[in-house]
Amino acid sequence: MEEAEKAIMAKIGPRGISAMRRTRPWALLISIIVLIGVAINLVDLFVRVLAPMPIVAPDVPQKMVSVIITTSIVFGIAGIVVGSLGAWFALQYGRRIKVCLDTMSSQTLEDALRAQRHFWTFQGVMMIVGIVVAISAFVGMVVMGVVMMQHGGYSP
Amino acid sequence: MSTQFSDPCREDSLEVTQAAMDALKKTRGWVKFLGIVSIVMACFAALMLLIGAVALATKGLAGVVMVIEAAVILAAAVLYAIYWLGYSTSLKRLDDSGASIDEALDEALVRQHRLWMYQGILLVVVIVLAVAAAILLPLLAGL
């Protein structure tokens, strides 16, 4: 089984090697930008937890205010986790391309292509999660609107 | 069959094992999925653009912002769909290419490079637009 996996199937020519070489800076740039975003998010989350801004909305029930604050903190944490993972996958791909191009071996190429697969799988999974969260948020907003109308705090 | 590795001295080609090929092929499903989601997002953006165009006459600045937002999202989503589906198609060719598999492999790697480049450029553009919006919108609202 392992031997079959190691069998040579094809060859990447100069064009493909050049494409991989040129991909590396982009993978690194994406990971660095995302990491900067994560750091900003982290600072924002600390400020929100340690020194929360009072929500001045007399019409909105206190329970609803707590739900809004908790949701924003949960989304902040989720953003940090997702951003960190995305940056890590992109960074791994960038690093493995470098190792592959330095050694020019089949094994390191395998590692690089696996890292690339992991990155796109992660993006795909996050897209599914994002769609589910967006639909849930839409339903949640509708429910919140109904609750606020029942409390007489919302007049369309 | 013994394990084969390429000669480190040869830098003009790189041998691809079955496992590496599998890793590349397994990427295809996710890339295709992301391309399809981009098309759906482009459709939503087109709808938003239409609504924004209608709101342009009545909502003033809010309508203008909505139209610009929708146009940017539409352009980004269409380009995303092109790059993602292009990469997905080139990965599919790995199964169909037979003797010309080396060329198909090179093409797939060129396509993935374009996709990464597009993602990087888009990320930079989004940051620039966000900073510009943060500076300009309060100024415009104050006029």
The answer, for B40 touching chain A at a CB cutoff of 8 Å, is: no
What are the chain A neighbours of B2 within 8 Å (beta carbons)? 3
pLDDT at A155 over 70: no
What is the DSSP annotation of A68-123?
HHHHHHHHHHHHHHHHHHHHHHHHHHHHHHHHHHHH--HHHHHHHHHHHHHHHHHH
Residue from the list B17, B31, B113 with its beta carbon closest to the beta carbon of A8: B17
Region B80-93: mean pLDDT is: 93
Phi, psi of B16 (to 5 degrees): -110, 125
Minimal CA separation from B15 to chain A, in Å: 4
Cβ–Cβ contact B120 with A under 8 A: yes
Q: Cβ–Cβ of B14/A11 closer than 8 Å?
A: yes
Contacts of B44 (CB under 8 A, 6+ apart): none
Question: Is the pLDDT higher at A142 or at B59?
Answer: A142
Answer yes or no: is pLDDT of B108 > 90.
Answer: yes
Q: SS3 sequence, A29-62? A: HHHHHHHHHHHHHHHHHHHHHHCCCCCCCCCCCH
- Residue A153 confidence class, pLDDT cut points 50, 70, 90: low
Look at B112 and A116 and tell me if their CB atoms are within 8 Å. Answer: yes
A12 contacts B18? CB cut-off 8 A: no
Hey, which residues 49-78 in chain B have their CB within 8 Å of chain A?
none
What value of ipTM does the predicted structure carry?
Answer: 0.81
CA distances in angstroms from B39 to B43, B54, B67, listed in the order given: 6, 23, 19
Structural contact between residues A8 and B4, judged by C-beta atoms closer than 8 angstroms: yes
- The band of A125, judged by pLDDT with boundaries at 50, 70 and 90, is very high
Q: How confident is the model at residue B124 (pLDDT cuts 50, 70, 90)?
A: very high
B14 pLDDT above the threshold of 70: yes
B18 contact partners, CB below 8 Å, separation of at least 6: A4, A5, A6, A7, A9
Which is nearest to A124 in space by CA: B82, B35, B93? Answer: B35
The answer to whether B5 contacts A113, with C-beta atoms less than 8 Å apart, is no
Answer whether B10 touches A (CB < 8 Å).
Answer: yes
Interface residue of B31, B113, B129 to substitute, partner A, most A CBs within 10 Å: B113
The pTM (predicted TM-score) of the whole model is 0.83
Residue A57, pLDDT > 70, answer: no
Residues of B in contact with A34 (CB under 8 A): 123
pLDDT computed for residue B99 by the predictor: 64
Average pLDDT over residues A89-105: 94
Model pLDDT, residue B7: 46
